[in-house]
Amino acid sequence: MDSPYKDLDRPPLREAALRRALLVPGGLWRELDVLPETGSTNADLANRADEAEGLVLVAESQVAGRGRLDRRWTAPPRSGLAVSMTLAPNEVPVARWGWLPLLAGVAAASAVSRFTGVEVRLKWPNDLLVGERKLAGILAERAGSSVVLGIGLNVSLHEEELPVPTATSLLLAGAESTDRDPILRALLREVEEWYTRWRLAGGDAQACGLATAYTDACATIGRRVRVELPAKPTLEGTATGIDDEGRLLVAGPEGQVAVGAGDVVHVRPAG
């Protein structure tokens, strides 16, 4: 493998410094490992999900990364953040676990906006947007009694390196900094803060403020959307809000419909 110091604009993550900053007594995060390369950080952690809550795995290069609906996610080495973590909110009713990917979206958008100065919005359920272009995606997968939560964030990709024309990166968005170490620290601390609040509230997104924070950050709400559902007619209407289970509420010709993330093929502006 090429030396990670060959591209000085994309230095390697400093694993030891990240551990010192994030693995603190009484904190959520228990282990943090940085791999030079792997297939999928989510898949790697899924095999260890029952070991403990608070495992964090980061890959400098991810060759088989996946998004929702098994879409491929690729990026040049060290050009972004590919990080997965294990969470086990066993005291929270499983019916409320659907809020976890939305929680991660709120945390990631807040951390990135605050550190880089880039205005980041959310596309339901949990894509991070700059304008209409995708900056990051989030994938939550059940693994035994735990959830593996993966975040893929484009940091220093140039236009010709983008996986699709509708994507973007912090560099292209004019970020004040593209230093991945502090971005990762801010992201994991924000996830821990929101997760702790949500868990202490028994998963009640209204009580802990998560529902309000998500609604305020969501660019989908209030827009006309077209929702493509498997084996069902396409639903068109206005996205009016999020229900208590984190589902998107769409007011269409047949009235208001609640759409779960697991049911949706695509949500996009109508017209």
Q: What is the pLDDT of residues 70-128, one digit of tens each?
A: 556 678 999 999 999 999 999 999 999 999 999 999 999 999 999 999 999 999 988 99
Q: Look at residue 12 and give its three-state secondary structure.
A: coil
Q: Which residue has the tokens 């809550």?
A: 53
Q: Phi/psi class of residue 17: alpha, beta or left (left: φ > 0; alpha: ψ in -120 to 50)?
A: alpha
Position 40 pLDDT exceeds 90: yes
Could you tell me the domains of the chain? 15-215 (3.30.930.10), 221-269 (2.30.30.100)
Kindly give the interhelix angle for 210-217 and 100-116, rounded to the nearest 10 degrees: 60
Residue range 224-234: mean pLDDT, rounded:
83
DSSP calls for 96-110: GGGGHHHHHHHHHHH
Average pLDDT, the chain: 91
What is the pTM (predicted TM-score) of this model?
0.91
